[in-house]
Amino acid sequence: MHAGLCLLRLPPRDFWALTPVEFSAMAGGLRGRGAGMEKPGLEALMRAFPDG
Predicted local confidence at residue 19, as pLDDT: 93
pTM for the whole structure: 0.53
**What size, in residues, is the chain?**
52
Q: Do 27 and 3 form a contact (C-beta atoms < 8 A)?
A: yes
Band of residue 7 on the pLDDT scale cut at 50, 70, 90: confident
**8-47: per-residue pLDDT in tens?**
899 999 999 999 989 988 888 766 655 567 888 889 989 9
Predicted local confidence at residue 42, as pLDDT: 84
Q: Which phi and psi angles does 6 have, rounded to 5°?
A: -100, -55
Predicted local confidence at residue 34, as pLDDT: 55
